[in-house]
């Protein structure tokens, strides 16, 4: 029986468990033997592997996180670490590997492919910063988590005359901030992809106050550089909040949402995306294919050459940004 290894790597994302469940059961369906690799590439190097059966993935479709656990491995970045990983796969007679993760995980997968391991990647990261797929697994749940939180903040915000800044994750990407900001009716959205002027933000808030607006919600992507001398040691929302207090005289409150965004039961969208991508990935492995990343583009599952996908830049839909500006300044 051919063996397929399955690992999750990088930041966990809601929907990873749905992908693992599908991968295991699809492998069994095609007569492959699924093997769990725990703690991503770190666990691969250190031999944390075990055969899996259908019952091992019962009752996990609704759970956030990843039952396989995840890790960011420094050792795997070294040639010695990768050699150990390849050796471990050979010793366990695993010739194909399904990698569920983000771009760092895919770079790792590509290096294994170059060492002769058959790899297949499916995109799972709340950041949605991977090209060749409209959405990555976990993004939809994360933006819904942000939306729930901002809805609550809005209740308290509407009871006070203050400016509320909510900082969201996304690493270098503004996807989470843009989608959640538009969905929450944020007054201002600050993202790394679009340069902004903090004095113009202060001006917008002041003008809105003159027209009777009593509070504002600003969604800030963690990846923005707030002020010119920003050295990255302080959260941008803190810096921007202080600037608004000092320059425009508004009282501010800051919420840094943090890891709450990554948790919770995956949404329908994430479960369906995870299930579809994992099914097709294992089907391709069964057909002997490798070196690919699967994405969903215009509702179709498409396989891209992994090296090509990694070289592409994910584009943000700036129509959403323009729409948000129109709605918040009228
Ligand atoms: O990549 C997912 C992500 O949640 C980013 O949005 C965030 O910057 C980072 O991971 C946080 O990493 P960690 O969980 O290792 O602190």
Label each residue of 151-199 as H, E or C. Answer: HHHHHHHCCCCCEEEEEECCCCCCHHHHHHHHHHCCCEEECCCCCCCHH
Burial class (CB in 10 A: 0-12, 13-18, 19+), 50: exposed
The pLDDT score that the predictor gives to residue 205 is: 95
Q: How far apart are CA 324 and CA 330, in angstroms?
A: 10
> Do 96 and 109 reside in the same domain of the chain?
yes
262 CB near ligand 1 (under 6 Å): yes
Cα distance between residue 203 and residue 49, in whole Å: 57
Beta-carbon contacts of residue 45 (< 8 Å; ≥ 6 apart): 73, 75, 76, 81, 84, 85, 88
Is the residue at 197 inside a domain? yes
Distance 91 CA to ligand 1 centre (A): 33
Q: What is the pLDDT of residue 162?
A: 94
Token pair of 92 as six digits? 């366990």
Tokens 């918040």 belong to residue:
328
124 and 15 within one domain: yes
- Residues 314, 172 contacting (CB under 8 angstroms): no
Whether residue 324 lies inside any domain: the answer is: no
* Cβ 127 under 6 angstroms from ligand 1: yes
85: nearest Cα among 66, 65, 113, 51: 113
Our answer on whether the CB atom of 193 is closer than 6 Å to any ligand 1 atom is no
| Co-location of 47 and 95 in the same domain | yes
Closest residue to atom 8 of ligand 1, CA basis:
171
Could you tell me the distance, in angstroms and rounded to a whole number, from the CA of residue 316 to the centre of ligand 1?
A: 19
Asked whether residue 20 falls in the same domain as residue 69, the answer is yes
The answer on 127 and 182 residing in a single domain is: no
Q: In terms of domains, do 154 and 228 share one? A: yes
pLDDT of residue 226: 82
CA distance 74 to 96: 23
Name which residue sits closest to atom 15 of ligand 1, judged by CA. Answer: 11
Catalytic residue among 103, 127, 129, 270: 127
Residue 216, φ and ψ in degrees, nearest 5: -135, 150
d(CA 50, CA 138): 26
Q: What pLDDT was estimated at residue 89?
A: 98
Same domain, yes or no, for 202 and 160?
yes
Pocket flag, ligand 1, residue 269 (CB < 6 Å): no
| Ligand 1 atom, smallest distance to 173 CA | 6
Please tell me whether residues 148 and 45 are part of one structural domain.
no
Say which CATH number the domain at 131 has.
3.40.50.450
Domain count, the chain: 2
| Ligand 1 center from residue 137 Cα (angstroms) | 14
**Residue 31 sits in the same domain as residue 92:** yes
Whole-angstrom CA distances from 325 to 128, 172, 181, 242 are 22, 21, 11, 23
127 and 40 housed in the same domain: yes
Ligand 1 atom at shortest distance from the alpha carbon of 169 = 6
> Is any atom of ligand 1 closer than 6 Å to the C-beta of 9?
no
Full residue range of the structural domain in which residue 220 is found: 141-262
Annotation marks residue 127 as catalytic: yes
156 within domain boundaries: yes
**CA 13 to centroid of ligand 1, rounded, Å:** 10
CB atoms within 10 A of CB 60: 16
Last residue of a domain, one of 222, 241, 262: 262
Query: How far does the chain reach from its first CA to its final CA, in angstroms?
Result: 64
Which atom of ligand 1 is nearest the CA belonging to 222? Answer: 8
How high is the pLDDT of residue 231?
83
Beta-carbon count within 10 A of 239 CB: 20
Q: What is the DSSP code (8-state) at residue 227? A: S
319 assigned to some structural domain: no
Per-residue pLDDT of the chain (330 residues; tens, 9 = 90+): 899 999 999 999 999 999 999 999 999 999 999 999 999 999 999 999 999 999 999 999 999 999 999 998 999 999 999 999 999 999 999 999 999 999 999 999 999 999 999 999 999 999 999 999 999 999 999 999 999 999 999 999 989 989 999 999 999 999 999 999 999 999 999 999 999 999 999 999 999 999 999 999 999 999 999 887 778 889 999 999 999 999 999 999 999 999 999 999 999 999 999 999 999 999 999 999 999 999 999 999 999 999 999 999 999 999 999 999 999 987
Q: Is residue 327 part of a domain?
A: no
Residues with Cβ within 8 Å of residue 3, at least 6 apart in sequence: 32, 33, 34, 35, 92, 93, 94, 95, 96
**133 & 145 share domain:** no
Measure 248 CA to ligand 1 centroid, in angstroms.
32
Give residue for tokens 């810096």: 239
Residue pair 16/65 in contact by the 8 Å Cβ criterion: yes
In what order do the strands lie in the sheet containing 33-37? 49-51, 33-37, 3-8, 94-101, 118-123, 292-297, 300-305
Question: Residues 159, 186: one domain?
Answer: yes
User: Do residues 290 and 119 make contact, with C-beta atoms less than 8 angstroms apart?
Assistant: yes
């Amino acid at each position: 029986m051919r063996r397929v290894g399955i690992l999750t790597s990088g930041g966990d994302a809601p929907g990873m468990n749905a992908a693992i469940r599908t991968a295991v059961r699809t492998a069994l369906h095609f007569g492959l033997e699924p093997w769990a690799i725990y703690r991503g590439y770190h666990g691969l190097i250190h031999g944390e592997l075990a055969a899996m059966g259908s019952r091992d993935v019962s009752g996990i479709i609704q759970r956030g996180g990843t039952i396989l656990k995840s890790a960011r491995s420094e050792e795997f970045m070294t040639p010695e670490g990768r050699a150990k990983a390849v050796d471990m796969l050979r010793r366990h007679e695993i010739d194909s590997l399904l990698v569920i993760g983000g771009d760092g995980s895919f770079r790792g997968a590509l290096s294994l492919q170059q060492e002769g391991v058959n790899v297949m990647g499916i995109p799972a990261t709340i950041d949605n910063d991977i090209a060749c797929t409209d959405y990555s697994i976990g993004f939809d749940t994360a933006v819904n988590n942000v939306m729930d939180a901002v809805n609550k903040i809005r209740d308290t915000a509407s009871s006070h005359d203050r400016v509320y800044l909510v900082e969201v994750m996304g690493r270098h990407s503004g996807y989470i901030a843009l989608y959640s900001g538009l969905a929450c009716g944020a007054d201002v959205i600050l993202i790394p992809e679009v340069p902004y002027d903090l004095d113009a933000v202060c001006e917008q808030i002041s003008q809105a106050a003159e027209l009777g607006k009593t509070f504002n919600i600003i969604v800030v992507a963690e990846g923005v550089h707030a002020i010119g001398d920003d050295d990255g040691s302080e959260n941008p929302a803190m810096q921007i909040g202080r600037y608004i207090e000092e320059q425009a005289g508004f009282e501010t409150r800051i919420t840094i949402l943090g890891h709450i965004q990554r948790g919770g039961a995956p949404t329908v969208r994430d479960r369906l995306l995870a299930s579809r991508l994992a099914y097709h990935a294992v089907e391709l492995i069964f057909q002997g294919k490798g070196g690919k990343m699967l994405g969903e583009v215009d509702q179709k599952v498409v396989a891209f050459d992994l090296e090509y996908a990694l070289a592409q830049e994910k584009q943000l839909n700036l129509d959403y940004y323009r729409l948000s500006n129109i709605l918040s300044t009228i």
